[in-house]
């Protein structure tokens, strides 16, 4: 062991070994892995080792596909067998909704280039797995590249390949302390102290403790997980092939062959947390006592699905812990305020996701950004609210229990809620508000007409469709009132504020008393934000963006901070409402004697509204005459009451974000996480029209290079879809004949224009207005065509009246 390394990876499981391998592969050879015991001594040794294509986040599914491809490469490079069994795999559906969902998921995989999947009948499923009962099965999805590996062999293959590239693996040496110092970290171990520029927390069951060593509270918790391995099954002895990996979604089980028996794993409804503050240091190759009574229901379903188990003994029980984050995805990336500290933990499916995690983190550390859009596993997707132990317990338990339970796009889950509420939350609830959640905050979805109204979870248009239509009509014809607590607000101040903003924003900055839409780019030219810049005219500035990106943006701001600049997150201290619609100005004119009528489109200023002094901006995502009114949290209730009273005779109606989705689609306005992500460039999304090419800004060279090369291969376009009872939502494939030419970024129903609409990223040669295409909506192919932007009010006159 040396005293200095460029990077130290803490943890000798599959994730730590993968990070080490990728760091060495991408050019950092002065790196080491430190393991308190021996490689695999945590969750890795007892993992089931299965790998499959399915993931609800298509970006993570792509990284899983990368991992599967990588396994044979590290086997060859290291000389260590990974024990790969490429059996193929099936995911089964036993209800009409689940079968519909699988058909939709199949098309999603096509969108992201995973083409080795196909839909199968129940009869085909029975032929592929003769020991399985097909009773109740409606169909399934088959994937060629599914199977399982030898878990110990795989970890040693990653480590062996890393060693061959110059990395070092140090076992039997526990990390005791971490100290942030100039130029990196002091890593205090049992065998001495190391200085490292970078430290990676890949500690698995011990990630909580390794986080606390650096003053970080990570939202992770271990939960116990059961599987059994059967004795020999005579029927398997008669087969000349291995039965495939099989996931029975209705039975909460997964199955793979193990020699001439099977391994049956269970995601039990009655979940059990274990050592929420992290595993004991001496823990390693132990297991918890099996508890068949707790999993009786799921065991019964499993034994019914595989009848041979009813006459076959159990050879081995495994009840071991894995670490989960609140949404089940990994925690990866740098931690704000801790330069050189990186997370690679919470990877509950390490043998499936470990390769992609290692690749992305190594790219991030070496090149400054990962190649893929990894926000779905970025540690910055959670804020301080997620450090609460009860929140962690509720949300990780909910994810575990629902691992194989279908969640509908319009379904609201209860764990960890309600947590943060806007001040007027109770009043809006009494007014019928139905709530969603974003970054711990309750956000209004729509206002139900009666107390007993319950929305039906569905993949299609729900029974709230008419409610949303009425809210859209109110905005278009009179005035809608929307709580805008769910926007982030950053106050930028100091002598260097303007120069700093001019550097990180790609657009021209607004003049005093004006606001401007502004893309923010990374050095490689991809988007880092679609923000609104407010110049209040008194030397202070605001940046407004998406509430759930607060930690992500704060990290970016701090990593690119300039001299004489103060950045303050005032999001939870400043809240407000928006007014949108032709009567919005009339409402405000009742409440102020200020020159509100003189405020131009994209203007901003301070006005007395009723008894409140507010910051007001004239803009609207709905595409109507509109205003955003910002107040302190203490004034939120009063502002709502004031606006509702003033607008009572002007048709004012409270609306939610479901209506805003429809309204902004009618204007072809994109939103973050759909049309705008860190995976796209400004030119792809049309955000380049806001770029000021005459100034220097972060990402300029890359953006200019793309522009001079003729532009991107794919661009964003609006589509009109011939849908019936369902609309696009995102990641549906777009076809021209039999050729896949793109995918939907988001979609919904335009209630004003009476059309099903979508935004899509398509090949440039199919982007012309009028191009005939098709789109799969909930698995069904529908005709679609490229239309001109903004099917509602294309000239934008309503916003500017």
Q: What is the pLDDT of residues 176-229, one digit of tens each?
A: 999 999 999 999 999 999 999 999 999 999 999 999 999 999 999 999 999 999
Query: Is residue 54 assigned to a domain?
Result: yes
Contact 659, 479 (CB under 8 A): no
126: three-class secondary structure by DSSP? helix
Compute the distance between CA of residue 121 and CA of residue 127 in angstroms, rounded to an integer.
10
Query: Is residue 213 assigned to a domain?
Result: yes
Query: Is residue 469 assigned to a domain?
Result: no
Q: For the whole model, what pTM was predicted?
A: 0.96
Per-residue pLDDT tens for 433-455? 999 999 999 999 999 999 999 99
User: How many structural domains compose the chain?
Assistant: 1
Strand runs labelled E in 526-611: 527-535, 541-546, 566-569, 574-580, 604-609
Give the residue among 267, 229, 269 at the shortest CA–CA distance from 248.
267
Per-residue pLDDT tens for 120-163? 999 999 999 999 999 999 999 999 999 999 999 999 999 999 99
Residue 54 has a pLDDT of 67
Query: Is residue 252 assigned to a domain?
Result: yes
Q: Which domain holds residue 131?
A: 4-367
Query: Is residue 754 assigned to a domain?
Result: no
Give the residue among 622, 644, 626, 645 at the shortest CA–CA distance from 579.
626
Contact 747, 728 (CB under 8 A): yes
Compute the distance between CA of residue 42 and CA of residue 347 in angstroms, rounded to an integer.
13
Query: Is residue 162 assigned to a domain?
Result: yes
| pLDDT(600) > 80 | yes
pLDDT band at 56 (very low <50, low <70, confident <90, very high): low
CATH number at residue 21: 3.50.50.60
Could you tell me the end-to-end alpha-carbon distance of the chain, in angstroms, rounded to an integer? Answer: 71
Compute the distance between CA of residue 603 and CA of residue 507 in angstroms, rounded to an integer.
17
Query: Is residue 271 assigned to a domain?
Result: yes
Strand runs labelled E in 108-252: 117-120, 139-143, 147-148, 168-170, 175-181, 184-189, 192-201, 221-230, 245-248
Per-residue pLDDT tens for 92-109? 999 999 999 999 989 988
Query: Is residue 625 assigned to a domain?
Result: no
Per-residue pLDDT tens for 781-800? 999 999 999 999 999 999 99
Compute the distance between CA of residue 53 and CA of residue 108 in angstroms, rounded to an integer.
11
Residue 61 has a pLDDT of 81
């Amino acid at each position: 062991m040396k005293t200095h390394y460029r990077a130290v990876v803490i943890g000798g499981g599959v994730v730590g070994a993968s990070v080490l391998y990728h760091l060495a592969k991408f050019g950092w050879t002065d790196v080491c892995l430190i393991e308190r015991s021996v490689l695999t001594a945590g969750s890795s040794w007892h993992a089931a080792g299965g790998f499959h294509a399915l993931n609800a986040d298509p970006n993570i599914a792509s990284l899983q596909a990368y991992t599967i491809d990588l396994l044979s490469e590290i086997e060859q490079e290291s000389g260590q067998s990974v024990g790969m069994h490429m059996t193929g795999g099936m995911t089964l559906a036993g209800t009409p909704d689940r079968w519909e969902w699988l058909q939709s998921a199949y098309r999603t995989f096509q969108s992201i280039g995973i083409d080795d999947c196909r839909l199968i009948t129940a009869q085909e499923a029975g032929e592929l797995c003769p020991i399985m009962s097909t009773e109740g099965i409606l169909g399934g999805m088959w994937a060629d590249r599914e199977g399982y590996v030898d878990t110990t062999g795989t970890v040693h293959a990653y480590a062996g390949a890393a060693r061959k590239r110059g990395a070092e693996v140090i076992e039997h040496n526990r990390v005791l302390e971490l100290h942030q110092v100039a130029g990196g970290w002091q890593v205090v171990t049992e065998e001495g102290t190391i200085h490292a520029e970078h430290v990676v927390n890949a500690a698995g069951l011990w990630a909580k403790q390794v986080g606390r060593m650096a003053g970080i509270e990570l939202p992770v918790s271990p939960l116990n997980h059961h599987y059994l391995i059967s004795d020999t099954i005579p029927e398997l002895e008669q087969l000349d092939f291995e039965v495939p990996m099989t996931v029975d979604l209705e039975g909460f089980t997964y199955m793979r062959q193990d020699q001439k028996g099977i391994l049956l794993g269970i995601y039990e409804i009655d979940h059990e947390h274990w050592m929420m503050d992290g595993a004991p240091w001496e823990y390693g190759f132990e297991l918890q006592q099996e508890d068949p009574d707790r999993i009786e229901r799921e065991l019964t379903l499993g034994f019914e699905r595989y009848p041979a188990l009813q006459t076959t003994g159990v050879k081995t029980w495994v009840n071991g812990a894995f670490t989960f984050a609140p949404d089940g995805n990994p925690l990866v990336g740098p931690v704000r305020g801790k330069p050189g500290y990186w997370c690679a933990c919470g990877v509950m499916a390490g043998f499936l996701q470990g390769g992609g995690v290692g690749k992305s983190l190594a790219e991030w550390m070496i090149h400054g950004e990962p190649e893929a859009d990894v926000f779905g596993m970025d540690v910055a997707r959670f804020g301080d609210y997620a450090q609460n132990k009860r929140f962690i317990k509720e949300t990780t338990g909910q994810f575990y229990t629902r691992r194989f339970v279908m969640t509908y796009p319009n379904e609201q889950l209860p764990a960890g809620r309600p947590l943060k509420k806007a001040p007027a939350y109770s009043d809006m609830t009494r007014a019928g508000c139905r709530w969603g959640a974003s970054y711990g905050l309750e956000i209004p979805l729509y206002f139900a007409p009666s107390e007993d109204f319950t929305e039906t979870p569905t993949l299609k248009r729900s029974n709230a469709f008419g409610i949303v239509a009425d809210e859209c009509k109110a905005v278009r014809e009179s005035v809608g009132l929307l709580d805008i607590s769910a926007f982030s607000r950053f106050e930028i101040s100091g002598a260097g504020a303007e120069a700093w903003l001019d550097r990180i924003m790609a657009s021209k900055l607004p003049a005093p008393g004006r606001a401007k839409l502004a893309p923010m780019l990374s050095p490689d030219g991809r988007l880092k934000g679609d923000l609104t810049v407010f110049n209040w005219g008194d030397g202070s500035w605001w940046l407004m963006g998406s509430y759930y990106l607060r930690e992500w943006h704060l990290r970016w701001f701090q990593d690119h901070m300039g001299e004489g600049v103060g950045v303050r997150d005032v999001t939870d201290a400043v809240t407000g409402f928006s007014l949108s619609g032709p009567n919005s100005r009339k409402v405000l004119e009742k409440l102020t004697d200020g020159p509100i009528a003189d405020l131009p489109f994209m203007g901003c200023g301070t006005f007395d509204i009723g008894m409140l002094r507010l910051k007001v901006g004239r803009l609207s995502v709905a595409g109507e005459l509109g205003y955003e009114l910002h107040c302190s949290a203490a004034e939120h209730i009063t502002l709502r009451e004031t606006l509702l009273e003033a607008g009572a005779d002007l048709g004012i109606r409270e609306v939610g974000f479901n209506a805003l989705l429809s309204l902004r689609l009618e204007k072809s306005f994109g939103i973050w996480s759909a049309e705008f992500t860190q995976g796209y460039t400004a030119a792809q999304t049309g955000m380049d029209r806001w770029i000021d090419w005459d100034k220097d800004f972060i990402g300029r060279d890359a953006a200019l290079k793309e522009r001079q090369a003729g532009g991107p291969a794919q661009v964003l376009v609006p589509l009109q879809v011939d849908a019936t009872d369902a609309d696009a939502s995102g990641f549906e494939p777009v076809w021209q004949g039999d050729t896949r030419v793109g995918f939907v970024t988001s979609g919904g129903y335009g209630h004003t224009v009476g059309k099903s609409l979508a935004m899509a990223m398509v090949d440039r040669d199919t982007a012309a207005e009028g191009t005939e295409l098709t789109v799969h909506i909930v698995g069904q192919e529908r005709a679609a065509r490229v239309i001109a932007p903004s099917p509602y009010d294309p000239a934008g006159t309503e916003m500017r009246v």
